[in-house]
Chain A
Amino acid sequence: MTPPTERERRRGAIAAAALVFAIGAPVTYAAERLYEYARGEASNPMLILRTLHTVYYWRVAVAVWWGLMLALLAFLQFMRDERDPSDERRAQRLALAALVLIPPVAVAAFVFP
């Protein structure tokens, strides 16, 4: 099998980094929500008359930002690595990470609404 070209390596790294974003952003969001619960900031909505800002927008923005940063770091790491970024084992690890991390995120959304 011929080694991948530079363009194929870059595209493989982008694809793998995008999967890192897909997993990283929801996990960060769940971590933020758990942190709010731990700090006691998750109050009863019935007791709030008016707020100056919408917390949800901020949580989303922070989660997406962290997801993008994780993806950027992953992209740089995959490009530096001598292995092909589209390596089968790397893809399997990302699949495993998605299957292990995303269901608990969904469960956390129910347990800590």
Chain B
Amino acid sequence: MLVRVLQSIHGHLGMLATAALIHPAVVLRKGKPLGYRSRWAVSLSTAFTVLAYSAGIAIYADYRNLVKRALFRADLHAGLLFETKEHLALAVVCLALGALVAALAAPRHATGLRRTAAIVYALAAALCLLTGGLGIYVTSVRGFWG
């Protein structure tokens, strides 16, 4: 039961992270120094992403024990797409965390670094959208609910 709840939380947080990651890319695109609210917004966007990934990691062992073989039996292609999803998820988290530190640490005059952080956030958002899409597709084939 708990693992099903965690799967739901993971899915919802993942989609929320997809939307949330676009915001820092927009806020940082001109390279202006971040204000108090923008710092919170950028940090929370990244926190959602890390939470979604953490929920995925929390259920990963159960996925391997309860779902993986059944998923591959049901649809080999969907099983391989899940593998792709887990590779992309790590890239999303690393991109978001690196961009967050860059955005928060960059000194006032470092417009170039903030613009680069915006690009990295945009890449993270694009990969997160892919990851979320793959997650929805794979779950529709086989999830903890069967």
Contact = CB atoms under 8 A, between A and B. Distances in A.
B123 A113 contact: no
Interface string B86-126: 11101100111111111101111111110111011001000
Interface size class of B (residues with CB under 8 A): 35 or more
Contacts of A63: 90, 94
Contact of B72 (A33, A45, A56, A106): A45
A110 interface: yes
Contacts of B120: 19, 22-23, 95, 98
B4 interface: no
A55 to B, nearest CB: 10
A91 B115 contact: yes
A91 B87 contact: no
**Interface residue SS majority, chain B:** helix
A56 B94 contact: no
Nearest to A86: B110
Given A14-B105, A22-B102, A106-B127, A46 B113 contact: no
Contacts of B107: 4, 7-8, 11-12, 15, 86
Contacts of A23: 95, 98, 120
Interface of B: 60-61, 64, 68-69, 72-73, 76, 79-81, 83-84, 86-88, 90-91, 94-103, 105-113, 115-117, 119-120, 123, 127, 130
10 contacts: A14-B105, A15-B110, A19-B116, A25-B91, A29-B87, A46-B76, A56-B86, A60-B90, A88-B112, A102-B127
